[in-house]
Amino acid sequence: MAHSHDAEADLVGISDYRGPAGGWGALGAVARTVREQMKASPDTRALLQMNQPDGFDCPGCAWPDPKHTSSFEFCENGAKAVTWEATVKRVDPDFFARHTASELWTWTDHKLEDAGRLTEPLRYDPETDHYVPITWEEAFARGGAALRALDHADEAEFYCSGRASNEAAFLYQLFAREFGTNNFPDCSNMCHEATSSGLPKSIGIGKGTVTLEDFDLADAIFCIGHNPGTNHPRMLSTLAAASKRGVPIVVANPMRERGLERFKSPQHPTEMLTPRSTPLASEYHQVRIGGDMAMLKGMMKALFALDEAEGGVIDRAFIAQHTEGFEALQADIEATSWTWIEDQSRLTREAIESMAKVYAGAERVIVCYGMGITQHAHGTQNVQAIANLLLLRGQFGKPGAGICPLRGHSNVQGDRTVGITELPAEDMLDRLDAAFGITSPRKHGHNAVEALAAMRDGRSKALISLGGNLAVAMPDPEACFAAVRGLDLSVNIVTKFNRTCLLHAKETLVLPCLGRTELDLQAAGPQWVTVEDSMSMVHASRGKLQPPGPMVRSEPAIVAGLARAALPQSAVDWEGMTADYDRIRDGIEAVYPDFHDFNLRVRKPGGFRLTIAPDDRVWKTPSGKAQFIAHPHAEDNAAQPLLLTTIRSHDQYNTTIYSYDDRYRGVTGRRDVIFANEVDLAMLGLSHGDKVDVTTPTGRMLKGFTIVRHAIARGSLAAYYPEANCLVPLDDFDPASGTPAYKSIPVTVTASGWPAVHRA
């Protein structure tokens, strides 16, 4: 491919980051964010209440805390999440009088949210192109009227993002089901749905099986397709402790992520004051994007070989007593060739054998995984392959072992537990109906992709969003933006104004809610909420900060207000539950037996753990046994020369862009980059810093981005989400779970003449 190099390489803000994760860089970043968002606010003490027994749960991620009784655990990105919420900046009615919607549309996602917290309910006025303040009564009346005007309840979509508390989410599903639909598109549908749909078939539960204490007992830890230095930073302390004990930590990730390599704990004075840091990964395997299935099959192949050579590697007693499907799995692994495995994974047989050796040599093993596993067209198969691997050595139901999906939003798991699901179980609906005197619909509803398709096709006419930024988070912004714009009603219950709020339906409402850090005062006094972390611990979260304005209401109060207006004849005591959240918790207990004595047990510091049946080697599958699930027809990616994955920068929270920096990847002040392997660059006839266009087989394009050399696997490219979402079609998803294939987009790359677009 000929390419002229007359253009200057665009390497502004591109460098190598040489430090460890954490360290002084993290402390500096916190100081900066506190300065920018909180100015001299006395509420900087908020940071000291994060994850304390009496404080609030960090809204940053779902990684648990040591019994919620620890001393303050420092986390840079938790601090960013809190300061972004506790900011002193406001978008009040004056702000919206100054700026038209058309002007705000031209703002970046960063600038929109950086403008501050919403303070009053708003309605979009198409006559003036402004958002105008309205009373809560008018907001509820308008929302309720539009919902009542629908021909059928299934024309409404009830989206839930994962920050909502258990209490808010439970009320929300009660509202939607009394209204008459199971349409619950949910951020989990874009995230760990492959876990929710894949693991129940394997081990009878769609959640992780380990606790934080298990990490203290593990003999080996595998980290596949997740980036804890950015997305679950408190996990680094856990990994560092394991590393110091000499526990091997085996990483499989196409990108070399600093947060998996080295960590300098900001809580550790000697590390902070010396050049020392703790090495994390003992082996780092740069698997190709989408090559995990092949890698996992390769590990199993090597395990069988080791077992044949040495014996005692495969746990045959466990397999005989607890599982089904072993023969089919073994046959599939035997039929899988090393050539195919190496081709797909771009790892050598020796590398994979080395991973298998670590696994075989450890008594107690934890496998952690994230979006690098789930967000593929074969995400569910990937998750089940991890379960297969663990079942082969009986790594369930014993201390120090198990599966650890790193969940996304801080309460995404809890929201699902208390009923946010488009596929509700019959017995759950029976109990809900009995507890509240309603008749829930039995017909299953829409997940996120189905909801967007229904909205696009005019089958759905209303979207209520409890948090999130749905149209920006989903694939194919063009289709999703048009879908929301075609609606009769769009209701955004949010803390901050975002791009989805700017997509105008016939009626567009923006309803400001309290964040988790804030004091929630109701008729019966100050209220607190509960959340469930990645490890199924349910605990209390108590906000203390002053709300951003007197009119801002809590999520439960807003949900109840809308429900009241949409369901004038409602059988539910919405006012009573809003006045006193203990009553919502009583409702949760009535519907979910696992929450017995909820109000009592959750008042204990640290809360309680929900039942995880595999802990007791109980398998809630139809046959009562854990299942090996073979995937003989695993996806073939070797023919695709280049696959692109989408990732989070260090300074973003999903669609919330805190800043344009990505410290650990050496990027400052920009997001318009494509990370590429040096050898691929040369093969493409491109140089570090060239402007390129990225094109998909169906002609989707990302134009004028700068391609940069990076430590990433051959045949793999990476770009930031959501900038690259235009490359993902809405119908490219995992058929088993509906999870969009955000992480394996086939592309071609060519030199570009287009100007850069995504600069700070």
Ligand X SMILES: Nc1nc2c(c(=O)[nH]1)N[C@H]1C(S)=C(S)[C@@H](COP(=O)(O)OP(=O)(O)OC[C@H]3O[C@@H](n4cnc5c(=O)[nH]c(N)nc54)[C@H](O)[C@@H]3O)O[C@H]1N2
Task: Return residues touching Mo ion (CB under 5 A).
Answer: 191, 408
User: Is the CB of 543 or the CB of 740 nearer to Mo ion?
Assistant: 740
Q: In the bound complex, what is the minimum distance in angstroms from residue 655's beta carbon to ligand X?
A: 3
Q: Are strands 716-720 and 701-709 parallel, antiparallel or unpaired?
A: unpaired
Radius of gyration of the chain (CA): 25
CA distance 495 to 314: 51
What binding mask, one character per residue, do residues 524-563 give for ligand X by CB under 6 A, x or -? -------------------------------x--------
Copy the structure tokens of residue 213.
């204490």
CA distance 474 to 140: 27
# of chain residues touching ligand X (CB under 6 A): 61
Contacts to ligand X from residues 437-466, by CB under 6 A: 466
470 binding ligand X? (CB under 6 A): yes
Q: Which residue is nearest to Mo ion (CB)?
A: 408
Contacts to ligand X from residues 501-520, by CB under 6 A: 513, 515-516
What binding mask, one character per residue, do residues 137-166 give for ligand X by CB under 6 A, x or -? ------------------------x-x---
Stretch that binds ligand X, among 19-27, 174-182, 495-503, 559-567 (CB under 6 A): 495-503
User: Is the CB of 388 or the CB of 655 nearer to Mo ion?
Assistant: 655
Name the DSSP class of 496: B
Name the DSSP class of 588: H
User: Is the CB of 394 or the CB of 445 nearer to ligand X?
Assistant: 445
The amino acid that residue 287 corresponds to is V
User: Is the CB of 168 or the CB of 751 nearer to ligand X?
Assistant: 168
413 binding ligand X? (CB under 6 A): no
Q: By C-alpha distance, which of 602, 533, 624, 705 is closest to 324?
A: 624
725 binding ligand X? (CB under 6 A): yes
226 binding ligand X? (CB under 6 A): yes
User: Is the CB of 415 or the CB of 690 nearer to Mo ion?
Assistant: 415
Q: Following CA atoms 20, 23, 26, 31 in sequence, which dihedral angle do they give, to the nearest 10 degrees?
A: -160
Q: In the bound complex, what is the minimum distance in angstroms from residue 429's beta carbon to ligand X?
A: 25
Q: In the bound complex, what is the minimum distance in angstroms from residue 64's beta carbon to ligand X?
A: 14
Helix (H) or strand (E) holding 292: helix 292-310
Q: In the bound complex, what is the minimum distance in angstroms from residue 166's beta carbon to Mo ion?
A: 18
659 binding ligand X? (CB under 6 A): no
What binding mask, one character per residue, do residues 662-681 give for ligand X by CB under 6 A, x or -? --------------------
User: Is the CB of 285 or the CB of 322 nearer to ligand X?
Assistant: 285
Q: In the bound complex, what is the minimum distance in angstroms from residue 694's beta carbon to Mo ion?
A: 24
Q: In the bound complex, what is the minimum distance in angstroms from residue 34's beta carbon to ligand X?
A: 16
CA distance 734 to 737: 6
What binding mask, one character per residue, do residues 612-651 give for ligand X by CB under 6 A, x or -? ---------------------------------xxxx---
Dihedral angle sign, alpha carbons of residues 401, 407, 410, 415: negative
The length of the chain in residues reads 760
CA distance 561 to 638: 53
469 binding ligand X? (CB under 6 A): yes
Task: Please calculate the CA angle 298-742-109 and round it to the nearest 5 degrees.
Answer: 145
231 binding ligand X? (CB under 6 A): yes
Long-range contacts of 611-617 (CB under 8 A, 24+ apart): 612/205, 612/207, 612/208, 612/209, 612/536, 613/204, 613/205, 614/203, 614/204, 614/205, 614/209, 614/396, 614/397, 614/402, 615/209, 615/396, 615/397, 616/397, 617/322, 617/396, 617/397
CA distance 30 to 599: 36
User: Is the CB of 408 or the CB of 468 nearer to Mo ion?
Assistant: 408
Q: Are strands 673-676 and 716-720 parallel, antiparallel or unpaired?
A: antiparallel
255 binding ligand X? (CB under 6 A): yes
33 binding ligand X? (CB under 6 A): no
- Say if residues 476 and 449 touch (Cβ distance below 8 Å): no
Q: Which of 57, 113, 154, 662 binds ligand X (CB under 6 A)?
A: 113
Instruction: Tell me the backbone φ, ψ of residue 122, rounded to 5 degrees.
Output: -130, 155
In the complex, the residues that contact ligand X under the rule CB under 6 A are: 60-61, 77, 113, 161, 163, 187, 190-191, 224-227, 230-231, 252-255, 257, 287, 289-290, 292, 370-372, 375, 406, 408-409, 466-470, 473, 493-496, 498, 513, 515-516, 555, 645-648, 652-656, 721-722, 724-725, 742-743
